[in-house]
Homo-oligomer: A and B are copies of this chain.
Amino acid sequence: VSELDLIRAIRRWSSNDLIGDDCAILTPPRGRQLLVTTDMLVDGVHFALATHSAYDCGWKALARGLSDIAAMGGDPHWCFVSLALTPAADRKWLAAFYRGLGALAKRHGVSLAGGDLTRSDRLSADICVVGSTPTGRALTRSGAQPGDILYVTGPLGAMAASGYTLRPHPRLDAGLQLRRLRATACMDISDGLALDLHRLALASGLSASLDEIPVAPGASLEQALSGGEDYELLFTLPPAKRPPRSAIRIGSLSGGESGKVRLQGRPLSARGWDPFARIDNRHRV
């Protein structure tokens, strides 16, 4: 199998004329700012060939990128996939990977616009997603104000309870709704509520108080707090604003030590998924 053969096959799978030139040529939507995110997944770290089907790997790779677009209140447009393939990832594996990725892309109107293929002795996939928002309207982590109420878009911990094998669903609709509502801050919960809330509070220069944690059926409180990969959105609204109907109120923000998080009055450590903190973290998968 040559690189040219693989590219031809990927063109068929994606029904898209990609990788014909050195770059993809994209026309940016008018009056908008671009959102760009990259996420690298490594076999044995973010998924495992032993427990994740090729379809699920492709789905998950794109889901992580789309969740970053959702977190900024963006509309997703294009994705790029760089793959380092091992001999174990044969043509059949690759076809299923692109089917999984393509199914999620189609659901959200995203085009596969390019990428790169190479080989390695450790399979990895790097996904780049490009989206947009009207200029000046992207949601960030840093805009929360003292007194703002803290919400999540759904219960947490289901992904950890499943052994990280559930198919994640990026909350793009919720992100759009929050952009229209002008949420003061927003991010996705990819590394666990405890760590991600610490980041949001730190970026906003505030401290956070958690009153209650919505634990998904079958999950433990610890999984809800630090399991990660739930891809729900964590966001803040001024007290006077009515949240979207499905939002769950979990606490509030105030002044005080920047980045500090308390759960029912007690300090909560910023623990969660960190690929470099090997001591605190279980190997995910």
Query: Chain A interface (Cβ within 8 Å of chain B)?
Result: 1-6, 20-28, 32-42, 44-46, 67-69, 71-72, 74, 78, 80-84, 113-122, 124, 126, 128, 130-131, 133, 135, 138, 140-142, 187-188, 199, 203, 274-277
Give Cα A35 to B135, complex, Å: 20
Q: Point out the residues of chain B lying under 8 angstroms from A117, CB to CB.
A: 275-276
Q: Point out the residues of chain B lying under 8 angstroms from A115, CB to CB.
A: 38
26 contacts between A and B (CB under 8 A): A3-B275, A4-B199, A5-B276, A20-B140, A20-B142, A21-B72, A22-B69, A22-B187, A23-B69, A23-B71, A26-B35, A28-B28, A36-B78, A36-B80, A36-B128, A37-B114, A38-B81, A38-B115, A40-B82, A40-B83, A41-B118, A45-B118, A45-B120, A120-B122, A120-B124, A126-B126
Query: Are A23 and B187 touching (Cβ within 8 A)?
Result: no
Q: Point out the residues of chain B lying under 8 angstroms from A46, CB to CB.
A: 118
Query: Are B42 and A35 touching (Cβ within 8 A)?
Result: no
Give Cα A68 to B114, complex, Å: 13
A6-B276, A21-B71, A120-B122 are known contacts; what are 14 more A-B pairs with Cβ within 8 Å?
Answer: A3-B277, A4-B274, A20-B203, A22-B69, A22-B141, A23-B68, A23-B71, A24-B37, A25-B34, A36-B113, A36-B114, A38-B82, A42-B118, A124-B124
Give Cα A122 to B138, complex, Å: 35
Q: Which residue of B lies closest to A122 (CB)?
A: B122
Give Cα A112 to B227, complex, Å: 30
In the complex, the count of this chain's copies comes to: 2
Q: Point out the residues of chain B lying under 8 angstroms from A274, CB to CB.
A: 2-4
Query: Are A276 and B2 touching (Cβ within 8 A)?
Result: yes
Q: Point out the residues of chain B lying under 8 angstroms from A131, CB to CB.
A: 23
Query: Are B130 and A36 touching (Cβ within 8 A)?
Result: yes
The one of B25, B35, B140 in contact with A138, judged by C-beta atoms closer than 8 angstroms, is B25
Give Cα A193 to B40, complex, Å: 32
Query: Are B187 and A42 touching (Cβ within 8 A)?
Result: no
Give Cα A131 to B22, complex, Å: 12
The one of B2, B21, B34, B275 in contact with A187, judged by C-beta atoms closer than 8 angstroms, is B21
Q: Point out the residues of chain B lying under 8 angstroms from A188, CB to CB.
A: 22
Give Cα A118 to B32, complex, Å: 31
